[in-house]
Amino acid sequence: MKPLLIDLDGVLRIGSELAPYVPEFFQYLKENEIPTCILSNTTTKSAKELEVFFKEKGVDPNGIPILTALDATHKYVKDNYKTIKAYVPEKSKGVFSDIPASDTPEAVVLGDLEDDWNYEVMNDIFLKVQGGAEIVAMHKNRYWIREGMGLALDAGPFVVGIEYATGKKATIMGKPSLVFFEIALKTLGAKIEDGFYMLGDDLISDVKAAMDIGGTGILILTGKTTREMLDSSEFKPDRVVGELIQAQKVLGADTKA
């Protein structure tokens, strides 16, 4: 069976609640011995914190590993830069405390600042990059479903703004980055060229990104992508499901084929 990568938000977690059929889905994966990794573009939580979420909801992930953009970014910048300046949420700053901070950094690290994005912050990032810093962004999502608000701008538009102003391209760590998929599959002892499934609610960052590198993309309509958005999109996923129980049937059918 090909390995399965699953997006967290909009698939396994809806807002702050567990999505329907998660316990049954996890049990199905265990019984069928499907190698699985949960992916999250969160810039505020580590894998250990997300494990706590499932435990608090009384669900056993059965040892499924979790990879977050926060964890991947920390590892990448620690391995590649001597100094950084992190533009990340306050609760994420501690993760980078073991990497020297500087006002003339080798790299700027961009997370999702939500309401803290403003001209002053953007101009400060711009000046650091103009001064020679490279850009490392935790992800480049266009928008997300913000609890209590509905659709809201994500970090991507701000990352693109810095790229446009400086003429430099950011190294993207979360989905749709090839690096992120490679790390996740390596965790499972698998390789991209051997094929994999990607189950996600983001038509571009999850599904198209996976299909572009040879994966099978399964779009689930429990998150940010609606049926209307899918119908109006030129890009079409390999499979479309309404909820997790249907994804289970898709995986089962593909296994038997």
Domains in the chain: boundaries: 4-69+175-256, 75-172
Inter-residue contact 61 to 8 (CB < 8 Å): no
pLDDT at 256: 57
CA–CA separation, 193 vs 35, rounded Å? Answer: 16
Whole-structure pTM value: 0.81
Domains 4-69+175-256 and 75-172 share a fold: yes
Q: pLDDT tens digits, residue range 143-198?
A: 887 777 788 898 999 999 999 999 999 999 988 899 899 989 999 999 999 999 99
Cis status, amide bond into 176, omega within 30 of 0: yes
The CATH class of the 4-69+175-256 domain is: alpha beta
Which pairing describes strands 84-87 and 107-110: parallel, antiparallel, or unpaired? parallel
The two tokens of residue 254 are 């593909």
167: left (phi over 0), alpha (psi -120 to 50) or beta: left
Mean pLDDT along residues 199-227 = 96
- Find all residues with CB under 8 Å of 25, minimum gap 6, and list them: 244, 245, 247, 248
Question: For 104-148, what is each residue's pLDDT tens digit?
Answer: 999 999 998 989 999 999 999 999 999 999 999 999 888 887 777
CATH of domain 75-172: 3.40.50.1000
